[in-house]
Amino acid sequence: MLTFDNTEIAFGSKTNGDLRRAYILFRLVGNPRLVRFGKWFTNFCFRYRIPIRGMVKKTIFKQFCGGETIKECDHAIAQLGKFGIGTILDYSVEGKTSEADFDATVNEIIDTIHRAANDNHVPFAVFKITGIARFGVLESANNGLDNLTEQQLADLEIVTARIKRICQAAFDAQVPLFIDAEETWIQNTIDSITHDMMRLFNRKKAIVFNTVQMYRHDRLAFVKTYLEVAKQEQFHYGIKLVRGAYMEKERERAQEKGYPSPIQPNKAQCDQDFNAAVEHILENIYIAALCSGSHNEDSAHVLAKTMKKLGIDKTDQRVWCAQLLGMSDHISYNMAHAGYNVAKYVPYGPVEEVMPYLIRRANENTSVAGQTGRELSLLIKERNRRKQAK
């Protein structure tokens, strides 16, 4: 029976020092005031060149990131691989705005695809469209192309060409590629471009994956609709299913602008829709591929039980689960130990430029009910087990 309580398996790759660092970090991120102060303090220090880089790299960066470069991630890739867990290299630099920076990011993403090619320890590549495009370009096209100016259409064409170049590289290397979901007011644009890429590159199997955020109340219907589209148009629909990362921002914007919130009424409904989507995708796996990106134990059980019920082998390459590096190791390592396909998102990039990502991780751990408490309880359990085993 699949269980997530075995901390010896969950933390088998961790030294006592690793456990101590994780314990301290999760204690800190469990305090909203400390998280807010930490955000202000790190921004202040980097702005005024106060030397905290080394401290950051040895603590929160080491917990949640693989390194500053692809090469520096080799150690994390090898360590995860020893335990049957794949790596998804995630170039997590945010906030770029120049065309030169966007083109450089495209090249970096393609480098991650080349690193993944022919390496079973790196089963996927991933990117965010806002990493290679100005937010305003995506927002202007979100309600369709009819009212766009010639300049806006030209800008969108450049973005689409960048995305196609990345997808072509993934297709040529036969490396499945996740395109991340983002805010609702640019997500229609992302969905539209991603679906066009699927039609081009997913004829024989899923290479391009769309990401679906189930904290939105309309996404279960969205999944069902587009699986039918895939059947009719005869392409494979790749889906990375997540709960989502922009919930508070979405609610605030909806209230500010006076439109109905796109967010689920409560967590129970979000969980219900997530699990229903897992079941529906697996029932249609002949035309789909699924990566269940979840830190929720119940959803992991639903994935395992549904696969067994439908006779889908644990090692079927169309079905994966994934968690973030440094989080939910009790799910990742126990599922991999049980024989399921598991991968970890491994963010990387220069310390200063990855800080917005790291701050967001800290904020999410603070806001997700029970997440930090669960991490801490498991860390304490494993530290006690090791003391008693001496």
CB 241 within 8 A of CB 278: yes
387: in domain: no
82: in domain: yes
223: in domain: yes
Residue 278: its pLDDT value, please?
98
119: in domain: yes
42: in domain: no
pLDDT in tens, 172-212: 999 999 999 999 999 999 999 999 999 999 999 999 999 99
Instruction: Please state, for a pLDDT cut of 90, what percent of the chain lies above it.
Output: 80
State the CATH number of the domain containing residue 215.
3.20.20.220
**Number of domains observed in the structure of the chain:** 1
Given a cut of 90, whether residue 385 has pLDDT beyond it is yes
The three state secondary structure string of the chain is: CCCCCCHHHHCCCCCHHHHHHHHHHHHHHCCHHHHHHHHHHHHHHHHCCCCCHHHHHHCHHHHHCCECCCHHHHHHHHHHHHCCEEEEEEECCCCCCCHHHHHHHHHHHHHHHHHHCCCCCCCEEEECHHHCCCHHHHHHCCCCCCCCCHHHHHHHHHHHHHHHHHHHHHHHHCCCEEECCCCHHHHHHHHHHHHHHHHHHCCCCCCEEEEEECCECCHHHHHHHHHHHHHHHCCCEEEEEECCCCHHHHHHHHHHHCCCCCECCCHHHHHHHHHHHHHHHHHCHHHEEEEEECCCHHHHHHHHHHHHHHCCCCCCCCEEEEEECCCCHHHHHHHHHCCCCEEEEEEECCHHHHHHHHHHHHHHHHHCCCHHHHHHHHHHHHHHHHHHHC
The three state secondary structure string of 41-108 is: HHHHHHHCCCCCHHHHHHCHHHHHCCECCCHHHHHHHHHHHHCCEEEEEEECCCCCCCHHHHHHHHHH
Residue 342: its pLDDT value, please?
98
pLDDT in tens, 254-303: 999 999 999 999 999 999 999 999 999 999 999 999 999 999 999 999 99
Residue 245: its pLDDT value, please?
79
Given a cut of 60, whether residue 367 has pLDDT beyond it is no
Given a cut of 70, whether residue 341 has pLDDT beyond it is yes
Could you tell me the two tokens for 368?
A: 């997700």
CB 23 within 8 A of CB 376: yes
45: in domain: no
Q: What is the mean pLDDT of the chain?
A: 93
Residue 49: its pLDDT value, please?
84
Residue 364: its pLDDT value, please?
65
Residue 368: its pLDDT value, please?
56
365: in domain: no
CB 85 within 8 A of CB 344: yes
User: Between 71 and 45, whose confidence is greater?
Assistant: 71
Residue 383: its pLDDT value, please?
94
pLDDT in tens, 59-103: 889 999 999 999 999 999 999 999 999 999 999 987 788 999 999
Residue 365: its pLDDT value, please?
59
pLDDT in tens, 248-262: 889 999 999 999 999
Given a cut of 60, whether residue 366 has pLDDT beyond it is no
Query: Domain of 322?
Result: 66-351
